[in-house]
Structure 1
């Protein structure tokens, strides 16, 4: 592997770790099924530190995402310093152990009958890949933004296309 390839891999690993940390700090995302021209839906992600290629969501069987399929998820970090667009496939999660593992008060607040609510559905987004933008302009970038000097793309932060 060349030095350039090793640096690219290191950069991808760094931005991937920042993505997962930002998701843990603020797990709210927008999701839409591919080919569905309706607006994306806000969802609260249920993250598992041991499963870095899937994210879960509690919803209702009446939600338009319930049918599953190819999906796109958008994420913006709390501080607006990291943005991601993630592709994946939504499917119903049927493993009761996983459904129970992620159940919490925030999820319970949405269901009249709690965990036993007949409308409760858990979806799993199996992640394929992502484009992640890190908005960290640094000193030179900040100076250019404040003074109106034209910025180059790499002066605003890192950008990576990564498999998840």
Structure 2
């Protein structure tokens, strides 16, 4: 099951790569970020941000994700680090990112963060016909009738 749910997670994240990210141990609210995915790197994703963003310092972090159709939810742990590779910046740079940085790829405010993924808890919300009937009728739901849950290594 965990491989199926992990694949469903990656597919949903690719369709809508928006997550809420915060540093572990900080009392600050999490920040919406656009995850830059690389199909060749399934244990990391990246965020473009400004040097004065509270995430720019990096450290242990958590990200929360809700799929576009709310059929999948995830909480991901990992570590944020500054990405120093110019090749990675070049590969991930796009017009949506360029719109935020007037100085382009050499803008002094630009920081590229890599989120090294450790693990995730993933939930699917797919009740099926029987589950939908039970929900509509107010019947007691049993574990697994609304979807699946797994803790997976990323």
TM bucket (normalised to shorter chain) is over 0.9
Alignment counterpart, residue 141 of structure 2, candidates 151, 154, 163: 151
Deviations along 1:123-150, whole A, 9 cap, x unmatched? Answer: 0000000000000011111001111112
TM-score by length of 2: 0.98
1:35 matched residue in structure 2: 25
Residues matched between the structures, number: 154
Query: How do residues 4-153 of structure 1 correspond to structure 2 at under 5 angstroms?
Result: 11-153=1-143
- Indicate the RMSD between aligned Cα atoms, in angstroms: 0.6
Separation (CA, whole Å) in 1 of partners of 2:143 and 2:57: 39
Match of 1:118, SS?
A: coil
> Aligned-pair distance for 1:17?
0.6
Structure 1: which 4+ aligned runs deviate by more than 3 Å? Answer: none
TM-score by length of 1: 0.92
| Greater fraction of residues in helix | 1
C-alpha separation between the residues in 2 aligned to 1:152 and 1:39? 34
Q: Which residue does 1:5 correspond to in 2?
A: none
